[in-house]
Homo-oligomer: A and B are copies of this chain.
């Protein structure tokens, strides 16, 4: 049967808009209790038995029967050879993308990731020292969603931050390796790579095993087991975020060719059936043209089935009273990807408070950002852009406050600290300050 796509049609004018809108947006990140319990067991087992446990789970879940953990390590030579055997066009595209991603993240480090300090009037030195993490783990999904671009997007910011060891894990179900993923690991400068996945890989990275060194932070997306495992090891190691389904929101004033917008909606919907594509537009005639392009283009798509399911189940074309109202609704959604398909993108950008990435103007398709514009494609999903940020150099750095109080400074500060410490009933704190007062 030929798939058809009918995203929900909503209008802010409608009396039922609020209810319809909430129903469309609803998505719950909660993992079920059974997944949670199994993950807890796997993590405890990996912590207890190390390599042996990881090998057993790899056999059971990935159908990969290896004699030792060492045999699951991909050598640098193997990564390099994967790269060299790619067609020239892919080799060059990977390298060009890596160059641009690196250069953007270098600018990011310079703008917001450098140490700083100053001295106040008393001569007191205050500031922060910014240092890279020592060792990080990067989780790369295997199977149907094995994206080499994600290897670049996770490893390059770590590299730019100055992380000295980057350990990649990628499951290879039944031993099937994705050459583009291996090649990307070579281009991005991954230090070591293991073909393991799931909760067992997260446990190995968090606790360390005989073969796999424990890391300081784990980044990268994964399935429900991986997400639950990351949540559990948070505190033992750092984690980036718990990713939900991917989303795109297009704010359109009607000036972008409607087939471009239809294809941009598809490019999110083709990820998986839970992905969400939303159009917000004050021009009803334009919405009809986009809908017509959706119908025209869908049959030509290789992933038409997934696109149709995603659009029918979670997509929406929303008619708004104005662009201003569209911006306000976008802020309520706090989308992962936000395209401003407008001839005046800089008129609307200041109104947009919450989004993972903002793509300005008709030529800026999300897919350019996904691969090679430079900014990171690991972005906060499911409304978490209200409080979190794209993956960046800052995720692979941490800060230490620096304080140097002079003898003069200790007199002024000691008097204040003494009063407050006594007020909190902390006598030792007070005395430590008072002892430094001149006699």
Contacts and interface: CB of A to CB of B under 8 A. Distances in A.
A312 B133 CA distance: 33
A209 interface: no
Given A113-B112, A417-B368, A428 B234 contact: no
Chain A contact patch, size range = 35 or more
Classify the secondary structure of A's interface with B: mixed
A352 B400 contact: yes
A94 B419 CA distance: 9
A301 interface: yes
A217 interface: yes
A263 B428 contact: yes
B390 A303 contact: no
- How many copies the complex holds: the figure is 2
Nearest to A430: B367
A281 interface: no
A367 B433 contact: yes
B436 A374 contact: no
A323 interface: no
A71 interface: no
A238 B353 contact: no
B264 A358 contact: no
Given A423-B90, A433-B367, A216 B387 contact: yes
Given A216-B387, A386-B134, A417-B368, A267 B401 contact: no
A394 B236 CA distance: 22
A361 interface: yes
